[in-house]
Amino acid sequence: MNKFDLQKRTKQFHVDVIKLCGRFPKNAAGFETARQLIRAAGSVGSNYRAGCRAKSNADFIYKIEVVLEEADESLYWLQLSQEAGLVQGEDLETLIKEANELVSIFNASDKTAQKNREGSLTKKKE
């Protein structure tokens, strides 16, 4: 998967979350949970795009770690929504699966970038 595919995927994740949140109950719990979930999901896509324009390996690592944190937060709010019974359905299950996959992808990207940075630092010392 290239960066453009992943940009498209993270944007679609945000769109799908927005659609899901439209079904949340119109009460304090529904509004607050939807607000938190929409912000976290939007941050995944927007910060990944910013990471693609990173000025250095260190900048990329920083931005990918933000993306990872927001993907994990999105997963949290999705699971909470399910457990609290705020919304149900196959689309919720699909989004939980997608959030898990995004966490795995960005965790692997972070580890690879850190490993590459350590390798380049070692070469500079030699």
What is the mean pLDDT for each group of 10 consecutive residues in the chain (126 residues)?
95 98 97 98 97 93 97 98 97 98 97 83 57
pLDDT of residue 118: 78
The answer to whether the beta carbons of residues 106 and 68 sit under 8 Å apart is yes
pLDDT of residue 120: 65
pLDDT in tens, 31-67: 999 999 999 999 999 999 999 999 999 999 999 999 9
Return the H-helix or E-strand segment holding 23. none
Query: How many Cα atoms within 13 Å fall on the side-chain side of residue 11?
Result: 8
**Which amino acid makes up residue 119?**
G
Is the domain 3-125 a CATH 3.40.50.360 member?
A: no
Domain ranges of the chain: 3-125
Angle between helices 57-83 and 3-21 (to 10 degrees): 30
What would the two tokens of residue 59 be?
């900048």
Predicted model pTM = 0.90
Distance CA 42, CA 7 (A): 12
Residue 68 pLDDT: 98
The pLDDT score that the predictor gives to residue 117 is 75
